[in-house]
Amino acid sequence: MKQDVLSLIEQNYPSLSPSARTIANYLQQHPLAIVSQTSAEIAEHTNTSKATVSRFFRQIGFESQQDAKQAQLALRESGVPVLTQGSTIDQTAEELNNLSRTFEGLRPEVLNDISKQLAEASRVTLIGFRNAYPIALHFRQQLQQVRASIRLLPQPGQTLGEDLHDIIDGEVIVLLGFRRRTRAFKKIVETLKGRNTILITDPTGQVYNQQVNNVLVCHLGNDSPFDSYAAPMSLVSMLSNRVYRHIGKQAQRRTQAISGLYEELDELEP
- 169-222 residue pLDDT tens: 999 999 999 988 888 999 999 999 899 999 999 988 988 999 999 999 998 877
Residue 82 pLDDT > 70, yes or no?
A: no
CA 106 to chain centre: 17
Segment 103-112 mean pLDDT:
91
Name the nearest CA neighbour of 70 among 84, 81, 87, 85.
84
Helix axes 132-144, 230-247, angle to 10 degrees: 20
CA–centroid distance for 190 within its chain: 20
- Decide if 78 contacts 180 (C-beta within 8 A): yes
Q: When comparing pLDDT for 83 and 208, which is higher?
A: 208
Q: With respect to CATH, is domain 5-77 assigned 1.10.10.10?
A: yes
Q: How confident is the prediction for the chain on average, in pLDDT?
A: 88
Higher pLDDT, 39 or 1: 39
* Angle subtended at Cα 96 by Cα 95 and Cα 100, rounded to the nearest 5 degrees: 120
Q: What percent of the chain has pLDDT over 90?
A: 41
Give the other-Cβ count within 10 Å of 20's Cβ: 22
Whether 31 contacts 39, CB under 8 Å: no
10 pLDDT tier (thresholds 50, 70, 90): confident
Across the range 70-97, mean pLDDT stands at 74
pLDDT for the residue numbered 76 = 74
**Cβ atoms within 10 A of the Cβ of 113, count?**
14
Cα–Cα dist 224/84, whole Å: 7
Q: Residue 212: what pLDDT?
A: 94
Topology given in CATH for the domain delimited by 92-265: Rossmann fold (3.40.50)
> Averaged over 33-49, what is the pLDDT?
88
pTM: 0.72
Backbone conformation region of residue 58, classed left if phi is above 0, alpha if psi is from -120 to 50, else beta = alpha
Identify the residue with better confidence: 136 or 92.
136
Residue spans in the chain of domains classed CATH 3.40.50.10490: 92-265
- pLDDT(3) > 80: no
Dist. CA 69–CA 235, nearest whole Å: 33
pLDDT tier for residue 87 given thresholds of 50, 70 and 90:
low
